[in-house]
Chains A and B, each alone.
Chain A
């Protein structure tokens, strides 16, 4: 999402980094680039002014000018200020001393509230708050209640609804009563999308708030919102006094200026980031990681967290044992590959690795997911015997596997050959030897393997 801004800042700062000392003119030039980049990223004009002034002041101080490596200092300052701009070190929801914790979701039409409610429910259940309920208070949008019921159930949450004939404030109050009676840990209240300039609906929101006294009020904001984000946020802050923001549709390529501006203008942090349509595509927002990502310093922490969520510890120990005893089969390989793919599209993961942002060649690289599909199809067309012992795959078996997977015999050959080389490599490593560089090179040659291809 912040690719463009990241690129610009890195281009400017890598120039600065290579010089020994900085002059005021150097700092001015860097500030100009930063200002342009932020404006182009849809950041609010006033916010940009404040940001560059703050950064410049720090850059002109002894901290930078007299340091042995002024360039590095500038990067550090920009990173720190960017992090502060988006909310400091990241925060969690406020939880009630005695349940249920009530979370109220509000926002413009189409911002992604209902999906966010279900995602938050799932996220909270995963992090220990087992019993989550949702309240369907959007009685205006056709089939809004049905939508929440469907996604809510998918997320493992109970949905309290009274159809569309009741008053939203009453539905919310009733839902809270039920949540108390049924001893739910959390109650998330979904509301109808509303314009910040619609007095009646903003009043309704204020009344819902008064009635259920939420512990957290979250404003849901679409990441592709332009300059209007600031006005919307200010109005909602006045009417609903929200505590934090959920940013949605962050998997797009919107520059994301809204994210940078909302906190600066309202003082409220971004708490969560929604990064796709699947229920799992929802994380706590970490401003420090986001800032590092913009500067090409990678987001390794998010990557590790994602991986940890996917890998089952017992499975990992079993795998280790198999590798040690050289019993790694194509079946195991298939499982490993599927685990990696569960982490998300590989192109997205690349962005989380340090330095990847700066590599221009990879900028529009696209891992060919179809190659991975092909490998999967080939293995799935093998019998368990063949997967355990690829050595028996000859002639007619190859033909059968190729036909079954919709590929050619040469693809099957290549996979078997490559897997064989990989096992040889693992045997070497397991026995403590350094892998033979020629072996490594041989493994890297030829399909099928994920190809990083320029678009």
Chain B
């Protein structure tokens, strides 16, 4: 579990529970039974706080946040594709990452691949203003979903976290209750720092769920166990590659099994 980045506290907790159950006799003391029960416990922990993504509002607003390089923009492309092509919804992407070089161009490419529209501004523009414009456009055109991309930022940069909180406020003022879904992207290779990231981002913008990305590598993403257990924030989606189709709903049992596999 340590090797899977589950962290010492979560590992100790799970192991203790398992030991107690074996001692109490509720789990047979043989390798196979213990392993199966461990998977069950891990699935329970991972499934804590589980809830579906709510896009019932019209328009529904989804806000994407996270540290630099975790896969926000690619994930937005995948979500947009699924909503537009598979569910036939009209989607608008807001290029509110006004900091990173060619960020809007990157999102524009994904918008094109996914069949979504794009709202952008010039580099250095206010991110809140881009979100605002995208939502206004959605209202005017009767679009179903707005997905807002934001610049990657380290949770240790308090001024940037404040900027993010401001973007959220702008959206909330425009449509009470929005954003309806705020997703935090976490790279599966991240170590214990992932828990720190989740804590600080949740303080700034009320994270509803995690997208665990780059699971097609060898990292297990065990850090989400701590995030679900301590913060009650569930993983809602997993990213398994760089193409549009590489996005799946999170399955706690599958995740638990993969965690222990070699």
Contact = CB atoms under 8 A, between A and B. Distances in A.
Contacts of B189: 108, 222, 225-226, 228-229, 232
Given A45-B2, A252-B156, A228 B218 contact: yes
B242 A251 contact: no
Contact of B191 (A111, A146, A196, A227): A227
B217 interface: yes
Contacts of A42: 5, 191-193
Most buried by B among A196, A222, A232: A222
Interface stretch (A135-143, A167-175, A317-325, A425-433): A135-143
B17 interface: no
Contact of B68 (A149, A225, A249, A254): A249
B196 interface: yes
Contacts of B217: 108, 195-197, 228, 232
Interface in A222-236: 222, 224-229, 231-232
B100 A222 contact: no
B69 A110 contact: yes
Nearest to A118: B101
A231 B218 contact: yes
A146 B155 contact: no
A215 B213 CA distance: 33
A228 B222 CA distance: 11
B196 A40 contact: no
Contact of B187 (A110, A149, A257, A277): A110
A110 B68 contact: yes
15 contacts: A108-B189, A110-B69, A142-B105, A144-B102, A146-B105, A147-B105, A195-B214, A196-B217, A224-B67, A224-B194, A227-B3, A228-B5, A252-B156, A252-B193, A254-B193
A263 interface: no
Interface in A143-172: 143-144, 146-147, 149-151, 154
The interface residues of chain B, by DSSP majority, are classed as loop
Interface in A26-68: 39-40, 42, 45
A110 B71 contact: yes
A123 interface: no
Contacts of A108: 189, 214, 217
B141 to A, nearest CB: 24
Given A109-B69, A197-B216, A255-B191, 8 more contacts: A42-B5, A112-B68, A143-B102, A224-B191, A226-B190, A227-B191, A231-B218, A258-B191
B101 A150 contact: yes
Interface in B4-25: 4-5, 8
Given A150-B102, A227-B3, A253 B218 contact: no
B193 A224 contact: yes
Contact of A110 (B70, B102, B103, B110): B70
Name which of A112, A143, A150, A226 has the most chain B CB atoms within 10 A of its CB. A226
Interface size class of A (residues with CB under 8 A): 35 or more
B100 A147 contact: yes
B154 interface: yes
Given A110-B70, A150-B101, A142 B3 contact: no
A252 B102 contact: no
B55 interface: no
B42 interface: no
Interface in B186-217: 187-194, 196, 214, 216-217
Interface of A: 39-40, 42, 45, 108-112, 140-144, 146-147, 149-151, 154, 195-197, 222, 224-229, 231-232, 249, 251-255, 257-258, 277, 366
Contacts of B187: 110, 222
Nearest to B109: A142
B106 interface: yes
Given A226-B189, A228-B218, A255-B191, A109 B223 contact: no
Contacts of A143: 102-103, 105-106, 108-109
The list of the 6 closest CB pairs from A to B, nearest first, reads A226-B191, A110-B69, A142-B109, A150-B101, A146-B102, A143-B106
B170 interface: no
Contacts of B105: 142-143, 146-147
A222 B191 CA distance: 10
Q: Counting chain B CB atoms within 10 Å of each CB, which of A42, A149, A154 scores highest?
A: A42
B191 A225 contact: yes
Contacts of A257: 191
B156 to A, nearest CB: 5
Contacts of B2: 39, 45, 227
Nearest to B222: A226
A146 B101 contact: yes
B218 A109 contact: no
B34 interface: no
Contact of A255 (B108, B193, B214, B242): B193
Nearest to B100: A147
Given A143-B102, A226-B5, A254 B191 contact: yes
Contacts of B4: 227
Interface string B133-154: 0000000000000000000001
B161 interface: no
Nearest to A223: B193
A143 B107 CA distance: 8
Given A110-B68, A146-B101, A227-B3, A39 B216 contact: no
B41 interface: no
B232 to A, nearest CB: 22
Contacts of A40: 8, 192
B219 interface: yes
Contacts of B3: 45, 227
B190 to A, nearest CB: 5
Interface in B59-101: 67-71, 99-101
B155 A147 contact: no
Contacts of A252: 67, 154-156, 193
B67 to A, nearest CB: 7
A144 B194 CA distance: 26
A239 B197 CA distance: 32
